[in-house]
Amino acid sequence: MKTKNTGFVRLYFATIYSVKGLIAAFKSEGAVRQELAVMLILIPIALVLEVSLAERILLVASLVIVLIAELLNTAIESLADRVSTEIHVLIAKAKDIGSAAVFVALMLAVFTWGAILYNYFTIK
C-alpha cells in the first residue's frame, strides 16, 4: 500500500496538481479563457473603484465564484465524457446541472456588480 504524503510534501504536490488542472482547463475550455479575460478587466476596476473593502471583496469574490463553478463544470463534463460518449439521461442531467451552477454563479456576479455599481454611481 502506498503511503500518503503529509505536511509540506502533500501541499507541494497538491499545488502542482492544481496548476496542472488550471492549465488543462485553460487550454481546453473556451469558457475558462473568456472568464479569465473578463476577470483581467474587472478585477483592476474593482481595485480602483472608491468602494468599501467589503464591496471590493464582493466584486472580486463574485468573479472567482464564476471561475470555480466553471472549473467544476468542466471536471464533471470531462468525467462524464470519459464514462461514456453515448447520450444518456443521467449524464445529460449531470452536465445540465453543472451548466446551471455556472449560470447561477454568473447571475450572482451580474447582480453583485450591478448593485454595487448602481450604488456607486447614484449615491455620490
Q: Which of 35, 50, 55, 70 is catalytic?
A: 70
Question: How far does CA 64 lie from the centroid of its chain?
Answer: 5
CA distance 8 to 121: 47
Active site residue 86: no
With a CB cutoff of 8 Å and minimum separation 6, the contacts of 106 are 66
Which residues belong to the active site?
A: 70
